[in-house]
A and B are shown apart, each in its own frame.
Chain A
Amino acid sequence: MAIPRQKMPAQDPVERVGNFKEVNLGLTPEQAQQEALRCIQCKDPVCIAGCPVNIKIDQFIKLIAEGDFMGAVRKIKEDNVLPSICGRVCPQEDQCEKVCVIGKKHEPVAIGNLERFVGDYERTSGQKIDPKIAPPTGKKVAVVGSGPAGLSCANDLAQYGHKVVVFEALHELGGVLMYGIPEFRLPKEIVREELDGLRRMGIEFRTDVVVGRTITIDELMEEEGFDAVFIGVGAGLPWFMGIPGENLVGVLAANEFLTRVNLMKAYDFLKSSDTPVFDCKGKNVAVFGGGNTAMDAVRTAKRLGAEHAYIVYRRSEKEMPAREEEIHNAKEEGIEFLLLTTPLEFVGDEKAWLTGAKCQKMELGEPDDSGRRRPVPVEGSEYILPIDMAIISIGNGPNPLIHQTTPDIEVSKRETIVVDVNTMQTSKENVYAGGDIVTGGATVILAMGAGRKAAAAINEKLGGTAKNFNEW
């Protein structure tokens, strides 16, 4: 392979820890074309099957190679209307790029970077490419939650010709794209722009509606006349560790910290935001966990001025669920990794403010059920890590609201909604679900895949035509 994988330019680490601007700067058109030429256009493009929404990867890359960037936009949008978002946040190394044939001997084709390039090209071109829409069917579908699952479901349903109304509890759309993923990985302006594309397709968005409180699922169908409902409310209920001292002042869930900073713009407190966030300046902040949310939180704390920003993780780096790229970025930014370390309790002063975490060193033992080596405590290794703020990032569970107010929707022991894996239908007639509310915390793109699958099943149930979108 003569052409090396094109490296995306990025903001200098020293400079970027002082701002919330995007870290990765995107491929230039020349780089994109060079990268596109690395694709060998396999006869059987396995990359497509590696993508949960089955983007026609070979075809859009071919169009980039030919310099037809708008053609590439059109091709991607047949399957995914959020390319600028997915190109940024998908874990391509576990999806499309993982199975790329080139990757067997060389580095895989940078499919994610190319998708991002295409999405950004459209957004900055001044032209808009919207998917074709089938003639109206007269059917109405309610989508609950405007995160990745709901958005992809709404998009496909609109293309099938159904009237779609999306209900969102928060004041901004996008779910985790808005409150969870930081500005420096996914600028919020991009989320808003891609959402405008969905508005142009006739999808109606209603914010400030908490389904389960403001209106129930039964009322949506019986009183508001919706023919079907898709539940894509995610897994937003933060887990705590249940160790002593967790309620001290300065201990908070990553969800709270990130919501304050991302959704409420607390990094701009007293200027464009009235929402405060814990003052990190010159302080020691520890994030407990090893996933992408933990990386987002710790890098955010560093940007807010933390003197020391630690990742405290009970296994070794190899077992970390976070993307390699994010671990790398975090290290470049001076994040300190305390591996094989687990907190036993939080300690505080007489005013109940956090002063430290009593930690214990671990070593790796035999593999557990997940196949990862189980961390085993090292006796006598306890020590106090002095910290002013602790951010808990050990995962989220499903919010119980829907289940509490719609008891005829069957849930599992973990309170996730039970669905038929082929149709995503719940135990309740005409009610479908997908994304983290079904799987527990997973990725943006898996949620989008579930949303598409549900849209196809809903369409079939409502008697819509199952034609290929681009034929309309």
Chain B
Amino acid sequence: MYRIVSAIFLAENIKKFEIEAPMIAKKRKAGQFVIIRIDQNGERIPLTIADSDPEKGTITIIAQGVGKSTRELNCKEAGDSIADVVGPLGTPSHIENFGTAISIGGGVGTAIAYPTAAALKEAGNYVITINGARSKDLVILEDEMKAVSDEAYITTDDGSYGFHGFVTQKLQELIDSGKKIDFVLAIGPIPMMKAVADVTRPYGIKTVVSLNPIMIDGTGMCGGCRVTVGGEIKFGCIDGPEFDAHQVDFKNLADRNRIYQHEEKEANDTFAHECNLTRQA
């Protein structure tokens, strides 16, 4: 069992957990993730390690409640435990001093981009961060991002805060300003990552995305997370999760992620029903 040390909501439905996992805390590098299983009946879900404190022996994960397991997780409080936390998994982000690096996070993707943005800063890059949210109340990690950025931008779809528009519009603006950009990291929903890849492709800017295929074991033994990159099959959990954005078959990823749509809805509905029953009791 893995004890939750702290649990706080960053925005509606988005919760940050500090979990006791000393071995993982000691070992993890930017870009890596854990697989967690909430309880005996739980499924295994992948979540990026947003931060760690090797001294305290804790790792930080940030989860958005989108379905049964993440919503169940977001009901957990400090002092509660999680049955399994496995990691660190995946190949760490490739970090070097590229020059000027832009980190783009969409929604909860900001939490995933954060550790890599921090590592890019640490490696001596001039770091620009662009964090997109639907609206002001969904903006997360603003201060943390500022702390690791030379320039930090917030974009909101509805214009309620920061730049009015999508992250890609801000990115295009930066490119158009004539700034020399050497590296782009984009993490968020599939359509956003695809859109960023489309923006940078004509300029030949090296662009990396962190993919989110369905995973079970996370150790390379089932191939459930396979993605097509440069026409080849790759395993997201072993070869990734980060890949060259200009080589990724985003459509295939989006198609494959829909396989359990129906079952996910059923599980979510059942959970909502159970939740209501508990509330009434």
Task: Please measure, in the bound complex, the distance between the C-alpha atom of A264 and the C-alpha atom of B226, giving whole angstroms.
Answer: 20
Which residues of B are found within 8 Å of A274, using beta-carbon distances? 41-43, 68-69, 267
Stretch of A195-203, A207-215, A295-303, A453-461 with 4 or more beta carbons under 8 angstroms from chain B: A207-215
Most buried by A among B83, B221, B258: B221
Considering the complex, which residues of chain A in the window 237-268 have a beta carbon less than 8 Å from any beta carbon of chain B? Answer: 237-238, 240, 242, 246-250, 252-253, 255-256, 259-260, 264-265
Which residues of A are found within 8 Å of B87, using beta-carbon distances? 210, 213-214
Shortest C-beta distance, B73 to chain A (Å), equals 11
A472 contacts the other chain (CB 8 A): no
**Is B223 a contact of A256 with CB atoms below 8 Å?**
yes
Considering the complex, which residues of chain A in the window 174-218 have a beta carbon less than 8 Å from any beta carbon of chain B? Answer: 179, 207-210, 213-215
Which of A170, A209, A400 is B238 in contact with, Cβ under 8 Å? A400
Which residues of A are found within 8 Å of B85, using beta-carbon distances? 208
Which residues of A are found within 8 Å of B223, using beta-carbon distances? 238, 240, 252-253, 255-256
Stretch of A53-61, A117-125, A275-283, A316-324 with 4 or more beta carbons under 8 angstroms from chain B: A275-283
A465 contacts the other chain (CB 8 A): no
A171 contacts the other chain (CB 8 A): yes
Which of A210, A246, A247, A253 is B89 in contact with, Cβ under 8 Å? A210
**Is A214 a contact of B27 with CB atoms below 8 Å?**
yes
Which residues of B are found within 8 Å of A269, using beta-carbon distances? 263, 267
B277 contacts the other chain (CB 8 A): no
B216 contacts the other chain (CB 8 A): yes
B266 contacts the other chain (CB 8 A): yes
Which residues of B are found within 8 Å of A40, using beta-carbon distances? none
**Is B259 a contact of A171 with CB atoms below 8 Å?**
no
Which residues of A are found within 8 Å of B43, using beta-carbon distances? 264, 273-276
**Is A255 a contact of B68 with CB atoms below 8 Å?**
no
Most buried by A among B24, B43, B88, B223: B223
Shortest C-beta distance, B227 to chain A (Å), equals 8
A250/B259 contact (C-beta < 8 A), A256-B216, A259-B222, A264-B216 known: yes
**Is A264 a contact of B233 with CB atoms below 8 Å?**
no
B44 contacts the other chain (CB 8 A): yes
B228 contacts the other chain (CB 8 A): yes
B76 contacts the other chain (CB 8 A): no
Which residues of A are found within 8 Å of B41, using beta-carbon distances? 265, 272-274
In the complex, residue of chain B having the shortest beta-carbon distance to the beta carbon of A272: B41
Which of A246, A249, A399 is B219 in contact with, Cβ under 8 Å? A399
Q: What is the 8 Å Cβ interface bit string for chain B, positions 26-39, against chain A (1 contact, 0 not)?
A: 01000000000100
Which of A214, A215, A260, A400 is B216 in contact with, Cβ under 8 Å? A260
Considering the complex, which residues of chain B in the window 202-237 have a beta carbon less than 8 Å from any beta carbon of chain A? Answer: 216-217, 219-224, 226, 228, 233
Which residues of B are found within 8 Å of A169, using beta-carbon distances? 86, 217, 219
**Is B255 a contact of A351 with CB atoms below 8 Å?**
yes
A401/B226 contact (C-beta < 8 A), A236-B221, A264-B43 known: no
Which of A213, A253, A273 is B27 in contact with, Cβ under 8 Å? A213
Which of B222, B256, B258 is A255 in contact with, Cβ under 8 Å? B222
Task: Please measure, in the bound complex, the distance between the C-alpha atom of A400 and the C-alpha atom of B237, giving whole angstroms.
Answer: 12
Shortest C-beta distance, B257 to chain A (Å), equals 9
Which of A209, A250, A278, A399 is B220 in contact with, Cβ under 8 Å? A399
Which residues of B are found within 8 Å of A352, using beta-carbon distances? 251-252, 255-256
Which of B23, B221, B226 is A259 in contact with, Cβ under 8 Å? B221
A399/B266 contact (C-beta < 8 A), A171-B86, A249-B258 known: no
Interface size class of B (residues with CB under 8 A): 35 or more
Task: Please measure, in the bound complex, the distance between the C-alpha atom of A336 and the C-alpha atom of B42, giving whole angstroms.
Answer: 34
Most buried by A among B24, B42, B224, B233: B224
Task: Please measure, in the bound complex, the distance between the C-alpha atom of A247 and the C-alpha atom of B251, giving whole angstroms.
Answer: 11
Task: Please measure, in the bound complex, the distance between the C-alpha atom of A252 and the C-alpha atom of B69, giving whole angstroms.
Answer: 23
B262 contacts the other chain (CB 8 A): yes
Which residues of A are found within 8 Å of B238, using beta-carbon distances? 400-401
A270 contacts the other chain (CB 8 A): yes
Task: Please measure, in the bound complex, the distance between the C-alpha atom of A401 and the C-alpha atom of B24, giving whole angstroms.
Answer: 17
Which residues of B are found within 8 Å of A179, using beta-carbon distances? 221
Most buried by B among A213, A237, A249, A279: A213
Which residues of B are found within 8 Å of A275, using beta-carbon distances? 43-44, 216
B53 contacts the other chain (CB 8 A): no
Shortest C-beta distance, B235 to chain A (Å), equals 8
In the complex, residue of chain A having the shortest beta-carbon distance to the beta carbon of B24: A214
Which residues of A are found within 8 Å of B256, using beta-carbon distances? 247, 249, 352
Which of B222, B233, B259, B262 is A246 in contact with, Cβ under 8 Å? B233
Shortest C-beta distance, A302 to chain B (Å), equals 20
Which residues of A are found within 8 Å of B84, using beta-carbon distances? 171, 207-208
Considering the complex, which residues of chain A in the window 404-420 have a beta carbon less than 8 Å from any beta carbon of chain B? Answer: none
Which residues of B are found within 8 Å of A260, using beta-carbon distances? 216
Task: Please measure, in the bound complex, the distance between the C-alpha atom of A210 and the C-alpha atom of B226, giving whole angstroms.
Answer: 20
Shortest C-beta distance, B157 to chain A (Å), equals 27
Q: What is the 8 Å Cβ interface bit string for chain A, positions 150-186, against chain B (1 contact, 0 not)?
A: 0000000000000000000111000000010000000
Which residues of B are found within 8 Å of A246, using beta-carbon distances? 233
Considering the complex, which residues of chain B in the window 230-281 have a beta carbon less than 8 Å from any beta carbon of chain A? Answer: 233, 238, 249, 251-252, 255-256, 258-260, 262-264, 266-267, 270
**Is A236 a contact of B216 with CB atoms below 8 Å?**
no
In the complex, residue of chain B having the shortest beta-carbon distance to the beta carbon of A249: B259
**Is B219 a contact of A401 with CB atoms below 8 Å?**
yes
Task: Please measure, in the bound complex, the distance between the C-alpha atom of A255 and the C-alpha atom of B88, giving whole angstroms.
Answer: 22
**Is A270 a contact of B222 with CB atoms below 8 Å?**
no
Mind listing 8 A-B residue pairs with CB under 8 Å?
Answer: A210-B87, A236-B220, A238-B221, A247-B256, A274-B42, A276-B264, A399-B221, A401-B220
What is B's interface to A at a CB cutoff of 8 Å?
23-24, 27, 37, 41-44, 68-69, 83-89, 216-217, 219-224, 226, 228, 233, 238, 249, 251-252, 255-256, 258-260, 262-264, 266-267, 270
Known: A170-B217, A274-B43, A401-B238. 15 other contacts (CB 8 A): A171-B44, A210-B87, A214-B23, A214-B27, A215-B27, A238-B221, A242-B233, A259-B221, A264-B43, A270-B270, A276-B264, A351-B258, A352-B252, A399-B219, A399-B221
Leading 3 A-B pairs by shortest Cβ distance: A276-B263, A236-B221, A256-B222
